[in-house]
Structure 1
Amino acid sequence: MMSATARPSAMAGDLDPSRRNNLALISSLVHHHGVISRAELTKRTGLNRSTVGTLVGQLVALGLVYESAPSGEGQVGRPSPDVRPDPSTAALAVNPEVDAVTIGLVSLGGKVQKKIRFATERIPTAKEAVNIAAAVIAGMRSELDASYRITGIGMAVPGLVNRADGVVRHAPHLGWRDEAVASMMSEATGYPCLADNDASLGAEAELIFGAGAGRGNLVYLNGGASGIGGGIIADGALLRGSTGYAGELGHTFVRTGGRPCHCGATGCLETEVSQSPLFELAGLEGGDAGQLEEALRAKDSPELAAEVSRQLGFLGITLRNAVNTFNPDTIVLDGFLGVLHSLSPGTLEGLLRTQALGGAADKAKIHRAALGSDLMMIGAAELAFARFLADPAGIRELRVPASKNR
């Protein structure tokens, strides 16, 4: 039986920088694609077949990937084996909101294995959110220890978060200021933790696994109980700004003489576009975007039609500004914003055609988030996967789950 600290293979020993970089490249491609053939890995990396074979062998020995029989679809000649991420390596994800704390278990390949939504009777403090998540994780501990190697915890927080130190500078809807949530979570659970803005993580997740896959320039907007957040992908990379807080599209100015916003300004997008009136019209006291959409589709009233039209009008102003400023090829709408779009298909496209600059508007295509309710879990988990994707051999430092012991 291999001990918890033993190295899986001699091949997992010290690597030169070039081999380490190639190993990271292969592991990232497998993680992001879910399944990819050796032949495709060779094509995408530019490495020769024998080198790719050796690198895949190392990742197999490290327990990060496994090979399966080739599908052979669309291939000429001898089909190449498929390489898949091993689900025993996983990350934990935490997403605090004003009405709940959601905890997820996400395996390599971006697959959500488990998700638990813990509803709260009031807005949780940072300490309460951490304690809730830590208690849920403690309840999962026997399963985690037996079947998974956990790379860490990623937190997706609706507010201004410094990714470098995991401190929430300001989360207005949660009422958090200068809360060191990452270190608090690490202390409470024993796992390393990183935190970032939820919409930024959502944008990256959609770029890798969802509607933005294969695209380089993307605008992402998420609408939920904690307001509206945004993320901008420019030439394949998240636009962070000088202090890391770029993309706050929920605070785009959309109405003169509008209502005061949590941020201190007036007329922000999230003061005019909100899920609260939609829940009220749907006759719901709460729930997720799927429940909201189902309830709204069952309604047929002039009041609902007027509210959807009103909110889409203000959302259109923000999208017009985003298209003119960032010239994206893809716009992704998540949460209740995706519901609004689906209730009146073509409305936002029409507003862009008539209000945005022609060349930019013609290029931008609007999509609903492809990852659905799993998006925040997948985005948060990417934080925890990042260190091991950069240096896959470092996985040997983690405890080997009992089911993987030899």
Structure 2
Amino acid sequence: MVHRNGPLSRAELTRRSGLNRSTVGALVSALTERNLVRETEPAVDGRVGRPSPIVQANAGVAVIAVNPDIDALTVGVVGLGGHVHARVRRETQGVPSLEDAVGLTRQIVAGLQPTLAGLDRVLGAGIALPGLVTAVTGRVLVAPHLGWRDVGLTGPFADALGLPVVAANDASLGSLAESIFGAALGVDDAVYLNGSASGIGGGIVTGGAQLVGSRGYGGELGHTLVSPGGRACHCGRAGCLDAEVRLERLLGAAGLDGGGIEALERVLSDGPPEAVRAEADRQLELLAVALTNVVNIFDPELIVLGGFLGPLVDFRGDRLATTVNAGSLAGRVIVRRAALGPELLLVGAAELAFQPLLASPA
């Protein structure tokens, strides 16, 4: 509760859990002894009676989060409560191999030693990968844009870092992070799409639970068909959302070769030229086709768009939402930009790595 909801009083923990005060007190004491939570005295508010102590997760208990992509590798240190202690993004010369990504991660983590030394404990590492990862074995089925196929992922990283490592699809972890800490907080039925240099992935939360599929591959919304006979997709088909809605095409329309999401943000917010507006409108039209299908299949209350899709929401979000609601059967879905920004996938990867601790703190 305090990890996901922030500092709470003992009285509020008692109310939310349905346990009695003495049980909550014993649990808080046990977690305090393990240095997983800390208690502070609340501010005096003038009310009668002794105020209830405030319990908060210890952000000094942390994990390492890693997000490899085709143009860069990002490493973060994330503490309990979703607190990001550090974030380092290193651009790569070309698409990194698995060995390159492992080696660069090791280098970045070595440079983060001053931050790590100030923590109470580092539990492990989580990887947010733009590809299909088998949850049980930690193997990559395919990360097409990276060119990684049928290789062990978690083992090499564990050997390099000396920590237990878990991994999952980046967009699925983004949806998890947004549902816990971000734009989908408190929403039981939401769909999340993330756009990165690698392409578009998705995640689905239905009935308050994340849809993962039988092998952990659920949510590959980037392979929704939006333009039959369109551009060739790496999956072997043509006209997938992942092939038609691309960051590099938006940047190319602005005469830019790289610069990432930050560059797109600047272009779209500063009176973009006609070529950029035309490409953005084309991509938004195709994105609306995919989102209309998503609404008809999953009936979400909310659609959250992250990565380079976020600036498109700011650019023409109202029109996108209107088109999707007009084309779907039920309508009335909200389209919103992701709230966690560049830290999104790191927070999602960290949440995955925190799961064993949250399930069994002892």
Do they fold alike, i.e. is TM over 0.5? yes
Match of 1:332 among 295, 298, 304: 304
Q: Residue 89 of structure 1 aligns with which residue?
A: 61
CA–CA distance in structure 1, aligned partners of residues 46 and 319 of structure 2: 39
Q: Secondary structure at the match of 1:257?
A: coil
Q: Residue 208 of structure 1 aligns with which residue?
A: 180
Residue type at the aligned position of 1:186: A
Say if 2:62 and 2:121, in contact at 8 Å, map to a contact too.
Answer: yes
Match of 2:94 among 100, 112, 122: 122
> Given the superposition, is the C-alpha separation of residues 82 and 267 from structure 1 closer, same or farther in structure 2, using an over 3 Å criterion?
same
CA–CA distance in structure 2, aligned partners of residues 72 and 175 of structure 1: 58
Deviation at 1:145, TM superposition (A): 4.0
- Which stretch of the first structure deviates more once superposed, 343-352 or 200-209? 343-352
CA–CA distance in structure 2, aligned partners of residues 62 and 145 of structure 1: 18
CA–CA distance in structure 2, aligned partners of residues 380 and 52 of structure 1: 29
Residue type at the aligned position of 1:370: A
Does residue 1:388 correspond to 2:353, yes or no? Answer: no
CA–CA distance in structure 2, aligned partners of residues 79 and 386 of structure 1: 32
Residue type at the aligned position of 1:39: A
Say if 1:67 and 1:84, in contact at 8 Å, map to a contact too.
Answer: yes
Say if 1:341 and 1:347, in contact at 8 Å, map to a contact too.
Answer: no
Say if 2:253 and 2:279, in contact at 8 Å, map to a contact too.
Answer: no
Say if 2:254 and 2:275, in contact at 8 Å, map to a contact too.
Answer: no
> Given the superposition, is the C-alpha separation of residues 105 and 73 from structure 1 closer, same or farther in structure 2, using an over 3 Å criterion?
farther
Deviation at 1:141, TM superposition (A): 3.4
User: Which structure 2 residue ranges, 5 or more long, are not aligned?
Assistant: none
CA–CA distance in structure 1, aligned partners of residues 46 and 203 of structure 2: 36
Deviation at 1:77, TM superposition (A): 5.8
> Given the superposition, is the C-alpha separation of residues 331 and 73 from structure 1 closer, same or farther in structure 2, using an over 3 Å criterion?
farther
- Which stretch of the first structure deviates more once superposed, 114-123 or 237-246? 237-246
CA–CA distance in structure 2, aligned partners of residues 211 and 74 of structure 1: 35
Structural mapping, 1:165-314, within 5 Å: 165-314=137-286
Say if 1:99 and 1:225, in contact at 8 Å, map to a contact too.
Answer: yes
CA–CA distance in structure 1, aligned partners of residues 49 and 202 of structure 2: 46
Q: Residue 67 of structure 1 aligns with which residue?
A: 39
> Given the superposition, is the C-alpha separation of residues 305 and 71 from structure 1 closer, same or farther in structure 2, using an over 3 Å criterion?
farther
Say if 2:3 and 2:82, in contact at 8 Å, map to a contact too.
Answer: yes
CA–CA distance in structure 2, aligned partners of residues 56 and 71 of structure 1: 19
Deviation by residue 1:374-398 (Cα, 9 ceiling, x = unmatched): 00110001121111111112xxxxx
> Given the superposition, is the C-alpha separation of residues 259 and 108 from structure 1 closer, same or farther in structure 2, using an over 3 Å criterion?
same
Q: Residue 37 of structure 1 aligns with which residue?
A: 9
CA–CA distance in structure 2, aligned partners of residues 345 and 131 of structure 1: 40
Say if 1:154 and 1:194, in contact at 8 Å, map to a contact too.
Answer: yes
User: Which structure 1 residue ranges, 5 or more long, are not aligned?
Assistant: 1-28, 394-406
CA–CA distance in structure 1, aligned partners of residues 205 and 49 of structure 2: 39
Say if 1:130 and 1:181, in contact at 8 Å, map to a contact too.
Answer: no
Say if 1:72 and 1:80, in contact at 8 Å, map to a contact too.
Answer: no
CA–CA distance in structure 1, aligned partners of residues 161 and 40 of structure 2: 35
Say if 1:168 and 1:179, in contact at 8 Å, map to a contact too.
Answer: yes
TM-score by length of 2: 0.96
Say if 2:62 and 2:119, in contact at 8 Å, map to a contact too.
Answer: no
Match of 2:22 among 40, 45, 50: 50
CA–CA distance in structure 2, aligned partners of residues 111 and 284 of structure 1: 33
Larger RCO (CA under 8 A, 6+ residues apart): 1
Say if 1:282 and 1:299, in contact at 8 Å, map to a contact too.
Answer: no
> Given the superposition, is the C-alpha separation of residues 77 and 323 from structure 1 closer, same or farther in structure 2, using an over 3 Å criterion?
farther
CA–CA distance in structure 1, aligned partners of residues 271 and 111 of structure 2: 40
CA–CA distance in structure 1, aligned partners of residues 47 and 334 of structure 2: 32
CA–CA distance in structure 2, aligned partners of residues 264 and 148 of structure 1: 48
Deviation at 1:310, TM superposition (A): 0.8
Q: Secondary structure at the match of 1:278?
A: helix
Q: Residue 343 of structure 2 aligns with which residue?
A: 374
CA–CA distance in structure 1, aligned partners of residues 106 and 77 of structure 2: 13
CA–CA distance in structure 2, aligned partners of residues 284 and 43 of structure 1: 54
Q: Residue 107 of structure 2 aligns with which residue?
A: 135
Q: Residue 291 of structure 2 aligns with which residue?
A: 319
CA–CA distance in structure 1, aligned partners of residues 122 and 20 of structure 2: 32
